[in-house]
Amino acid sequence: MRQIFAIFVAFGCVLSSQCFAASEFADNPIVYFLVTDRFKNGNPDNDGSYGRKRDGLNEIGTFHGGDLAGVTERLKSGWFSALGVNSIWITAPYEQIHGWVVGGNQEFKHYSYHGYYATDFTVLDRNMGTPDELREMIDTAHTQGIRVVFDVVMNHPGYLDIQSALDFRIPVLWRGADKAGLRDYHEFIDYNADKKKWAQWWGGAWVRAGLPGYAPEGSDDYTKQLAYLPDFRTESTEKVDLPPFLKAKRDTQAKTLPNATVRDYLVTWLTNWVRDYGVDGFRCDTVKHVEPAAWKRLKSDAVKALAEWKSKNPTKKIDDQPFWMVGEYWGHGVEKSALYANGFDAMINFDFQDRAANLRDLDGVYRDYAAKLAGDPGYNVLSYISSHDTKLFPRGRLIDGGTALLLAPGGVQIFYGDETSRPPGPFTNSDPQQATRSDMNWNAINDSVLAHWTKLTQFRARHPAVARGRHAKLSSSPYVFSRVAADGSDRIVAAIGVNGDQELSVGDVFANGVSLRDAYTGREVTVSGGKVKVLGEGVVLLEARP
């Protein structure tokens, strides 16, 4: 496997001056999304932080040990650069609830391994690592021209779990709560405790929670509680102080801000990661449930923060491109919504996963996306075939799925393990999404799938025309199409379903007599009469020789 990857690295960066060109990132983001806890354990010493434990059963919702040091280890091995990605999206690394809550239908202990149950937005979760390990990870990525994107949440913090209530001395537990199990967990929390006791948590000015002293959830998207999680009052103009538990927390970096609202605090906390470490972008969770003005403010402050970091760290930056932000708005497709005017450079494309399963309609999908994205540099989408929030693409069809995704117009998101045929993990019928977050299959990589994805991703990284070029269908059987950059600076012809000796049309994309290279097989061909003769192995990727 390492030998294969070394060959791909050499191919990718020798064959084109466009290899990983930083200026093309916003137009051609190739984002590798990993659940940090499930990716690679680089520092076993941080396992079990805050007293977290494995359950000794299926380990559906427990911390598995993956951390920032593990991501750095894979960066140094060349995994990401060989694959051709130009950005890594990691799950939120800041401090999560310390213990667990009841998962599924009282079926498993659900810890915040995924980063969506935040407790302190200003410090790293100890399971993820140390500030030095975060800095090393980001600096290592930057030396390879790879951006780092944080998952961020402004809609909600985590639940008040029993362990956090014990650790922060929030007096709403009955005696013996530390012995609570799945069946009697909530019996040890006094949900009717005096409101002064509950106020020692976030407090009613910060969140809606339906608890004593807290406002109940609202009825619209901005004020409702998702999965009963506390809802941040980001729309409120009320000035707030730090929540009591953070005031008493010894290791927090949170400080009282003068005349600040909930939104002010959250934006400050999140953009400080950019200012201090050089984080390049945010993937924003639950965009639908936070008012657009909050996202716009987050983006403008993050742009300033990254510019400040780059001015202080000129030798560590990749380039001078601005901060990048992509949003997760459930159900959003390729339409250009008002969200693009409120801080977002791209939106996650929920349209593609199911449409990619039908290769017979692939040209219709490509034609639709290319037409909508053409000539609009401020508008992009991030398509995927697998997700931690939906489902995994069928494991037996990852060759076809990878082809469909990596030749799609717009940006693309690779979910960790799609390139290696990572099998699903254990789950319950009440929470099937847990299966999408299994441990990375480092010891059982499918080399055929990996080789296929690597060839396509490297090709895509060299050719911005794949992402933003004019699309034209050249043939139906086999399916052949071209993409040409608007200014003609980059052009490709690709074919899907080619097996054996065949003659393919290249239209007027390449002139007669021009020598081309099939980036999939490495073979060279010459255009004659607007056609080329190829010996195909499923996919053909034609590019001009350097």
pLDDT digits (tens, 9 = 90+) for 229-262: 999 999 999 999 999 999 999 999 999 999 999 9
- Cβ contact 491:53 at 8 Å: no
- Is residue 75 left, alpha or beta, with left meaning phi > 0 and alpha meaning psi from -120 to 50? alpha
- Cβ contact 40:72 at 8 Å: no
Residue 14 is predicted with a pLDDT of: 33
**422 and 346 housed in the same domain:** yes
Reported as a pLDDT band with limits 50, 70 and 90, residue 21 is very low
Which of residues 468, 501, 535 is at a domain's end? 468
Which of residues 468, 501, 523 is at a domain's end? 468
Higher confidence at residue 329 or residue 377? 329
Reported as a pLDDT band with limits 50, 70 and 90, residue 418 is very high
Residue 76 is predicted with a pLDDT of: 98
What does the DSSP assignment read for 179-239? G--TTTGGGGB-TTS-HHHHTTSS-TTTEE-SSTTSPPP-SSTTTSPGGGPPEE-TT----
Taking the CB of residue 171, how many other CB atoms lie within 10 A of it? Answer: 12
- Cβ contact 383:410 at 8 Å: yes
**539 and 401 housed in the same domain:** no
- Distance (Å, rounded) from C-alpha 13 to C-alpha 79? 15
What is the pTM assigned to this prediction?
0.95
Active site residue 67: no
Q: What is the pLDDT of residues 276-324, one digit of tens each?
A: 999 999 999 999 999 999 999 999 999 999 999 999 999 999 999 999 9
Residue 186 belongs to some domain of the structure: no
Residue 404 belongs to some domain of the structure: yes
Residue 154 belongs to some domain of the structure: yes
Residue 193 belongs to some domain of the structure: no
Which of residues 468, 487, 520 is at a domain's end? 468
What does the DSSP assignment read for 407-459? TSSSEEEEETTTTTTPPP---BTTBGGGGGGPPP-TTS--HHHHHHHHHHHHH
- Distance (Å, rounded) from C-alpha 15 to C-alpha 463? 11
- Cβ contact 242:206 at 8 Å: no
User: Is the pLDDT confidence value at 160 over 80?
Assistant: yes
Residue 378 is predicted with a pLDDT of: 78
364 φ, ψ (degrees, to nearest 5): -65, -40
Residue 460 is predicted with a pLDDT of: 98
Say which of 285, 419, 439, 543 is annotated catalytic. 285
**405 and 273 housed in the same domain:** yes
Q: What is the pLDDT of residues 491-525, one digit of tens each?
A: 999 999 999 999 999 999 999 999 999 999 999 99
Residue 545 is predicted with a pLDDT of: 85
**393 and 524 housed in the same domain:** no
Task: State how many domains the chain has.
Answer: 2
**353 and 448 housed in the same domain:** yes
Q: What is the pLDDT of residues 378-417, one digit of tens each?
A: 799 999 999 999 999 999 999 999 999 999 999 999 999 9
**412 and 486 housed in the same domain:** no
Residue 38 belongs to some domain of the structure: yes
**346 and 475 housed in the same domain:** no
Give residue 15's identity as a one-letter amino acid code.
Answer: L
**338 and 487 housed in the same domain:** no
Residue 201 belongs to some domain of the structure: no
Domain extent, residue 487, equals 470-544
Give the CATH number, domain containing residue 498.
Answer: 2.60.40.1180
Say which of 161, 217, 280, 328 is annotated catalytic. 328
**450 and 524 housed in the same domain:** no
CB contact set of 529 (below 8 Å; sequence gap of 6+): 512
User: Is the pLDDT confidence value at 7 over 80?
Assistant: no
Residue 218 belongs to some domain of the structure: no
DSSP helix/strand/coil, 541: strand
Percent of the chain with pLDDT over 70: 95
**153 and 52 housed in the same domain:** yes
Mean pLDDT for 426-444 is 97
**486 and 424 housed in the same domain:** no
**333 and 454 housed in the same domain:** yes
Percent of the chain with pLDDT over 90: 92
The first and second tokens of residue 168, run together, are 């922060």
Active site residue 291: no
Give the CATH number, domain containing residue 379.
Answer: 3.20.20.80
β-sheet bridge partners, residue 528: 531
Residue 174 belongs to some domain of the structure: no
- Distance (Å, rounded) from C-alpha 360 to C-alpha 358? 5
User: Is the pLDDT confidence value at 210 over 60?
Assistant: yes
Q: What mean pLDDT is reported for the chain?
A: 94
What does the DSSP assignment read for 492-532? EEEEEEEEEEEEEE-TTTS-TT-EEEETTT--EEE-BTTEE
